[in-house]
Amino acid sequence: MDHPHAPPQAPGAVAPASRGARYWRLRSLTRLDLSTFSIARREVVWMWTVVSIAAVALVAVGWPVTASGYNTHPVAAMALTIVHCAAAIMAVRWAWAGLGASVPAALGLMIVTAGAAPEWPWPWPVTVLLTHCLTVFVLALRHSWYWAASLWLAGAMLTVLAPALIVGDADASAGANGVVLVSLSGGIALVGVLVRLWILSVVRMEQAERLSAAEAGRRRELEERNRIARELHDVVAHSMSVITVQASTARYRQPGLDDAIQQEFEEIAASSRRALGEMRGLLGLLRGQDTAPTAPMPGLSDIAELVRATRASGAEITYVGTEAVVPDAVGLTGFRVVQEALSNALRHAPGSAIAVTVTEGGHDLRVRITNTAPARSEETTPGAQLGLAGIRERAAALGGTVTSHPTPDGGFEISATLPVGEDEHPRLA
């Protein structure tokens, strides 16, 4: 609980703005689940970097080699080389785009380089062969195996069919060149598939380790909650049970008590029984038991009984209530605000006059509790500085506000404004 004359707590720091937009952009770029980005994300970043560098290098080498060595028009050589190398970059994200660009570009390069001197490799020039293998490797590493297999098969078909369709006959050098392409691209595809399987196994292992750590954390949390429940039971529940029994049996143990004193003991017994019931419910929740008490939570209709029970302690309390029908969450929050304010007034302003007002106007429920300056100078019971913070959090969850401040006459005031309209607190839905 908070000292009622202490200044209101400073509002919490505003959470940093959400970075969800950047995360979604990263997901659309990498096609990976961000919960497993430690290994997989590094693989993707390196893939983009290495493939881009390799593609640029192949363009820088392949364009002049194709244009000068194979006597090809520079514009045609440049266009086809750029498309063929860009296919490897596109394959990192889109398998169909990489496959769709690589095959026509390779065929176009075979056509424009068909008239080269016999000493130049054909139908697969060295730079074209390397670019084709790079695209196969990217498809095998980033996508399902059948994409790499499709491009490898397309390359094999081009090796067999292109010489017959373009020059009408294929010599031994063309056959040897095709064998190199088929064997090299097949081996690279196999390596890419194996590396992909290794990366997936590492990612799954990381997921399992992360899940195991989360389960261990939940287990430690449950153990801590059970320990707290045991401590509460040992320290509080037993003492409350003793108070209940002592107050209930006072009339029998102390014969001759007048009616007023007997009534006082009955009020003490009733209050301790209520507190003991709430304590049992709290212990059940802490232990995570499905059999925790499910009695209705208090609401606005219970404030009058709360005020009556508090008057039994000798406090002078005036109460003006309302019979308005409000959502259960709003009624519970209003009850807790009054409960906390009365508790603070009794603890820190003994002998003061307390006024409780609960009104409903428009779309808001207004709860106001004021107390005068303490009538007696007594040592106050220190609090944990959590009471006002707790009711502020309750109110904020409903979209409401709580203010607390000293009054000019030396007293204290706590006011809460809680929205009751359905559209005012959608977070409860």
Which pLDDT tens digits describe the chain residue by residue (429 residues)? 444 444 444 434 434 444 555 544 444 444 444 344 445 566 677 788 889 999 999 999 999 998 888 888 999 999 999 999 999 999 998 999 999 999 999 999 999 988 777 788 888 999 999 999 999 999 998 899 999 999 999 999 998 888 888 877 667 788 888 899 999 999 999 999 998 888 888 888 888 888 888 888 888 887 777 777 766 666 676 677 667 777 777 777 777 778 788 788 888 888 877 777 777 777 666 666 544 455 567 888 889 988 888 887 778 899 998 888 888 888 889 998 998 898 888 888 888 899 999 998 878 899 999 999 887 665 555 555 567 887 888 888 888 999 999 999 889 999 999 998 654 433 333
pLDDT score for 427: 37
pLDDT value of position 55: 93
Asked if the bond preceding 16 is cis, omega within 30° of 0, the reply is: no
CB contact at 8 A, 370 and 413 = yes
Strand partners, 221: none
pLDDT of residue 154: 93
pLDDT of residue 1: 44
H-helix or E-strand spanning residue 369: strand 364-371
Q: pTM of the prediction?
A: 0.47
Given a contact cutoff of 8 angstroms between Cβ atoms, the answer to whether 286 and 229 are in contact is yes
- Burial (CB count within 10 angstroms: exposed 0-12, middle 13-18, buried 19+), residue 322: middle
pLDDT at 223: 79
In this prediction, residue 148 carries a pLDDT of 93
Report residue 165 as tokens. Answer: 């369709």
Contact 123, 100 (CB under 8 A): no
Q: Are strands 353-361 and 412-419 parallel, antiparallel or unpaired?
A: unpaired
CA-based angle 219:221:224, to the nearest 5?
Answer: 110
Q: In this predicted structure, what is the pLDDT of residue 105?
A: 93
Supply φ then ψ for residue 403, to 5 degrees. -120, 150
Backbone angles phi, psi at 250, to 5 degrees: -65, -40
Identify the H or E element spanning 357: strand 353-361
Q: What is the pLDDT of residue 188?
A: 94
Reduce the DSSP state of residue 178 to 3 states and report it. helix
Per DSSP, the three-state class of 296 is coil
Supply angle C-alpha 179, 182, 187, rounded to 5: 120
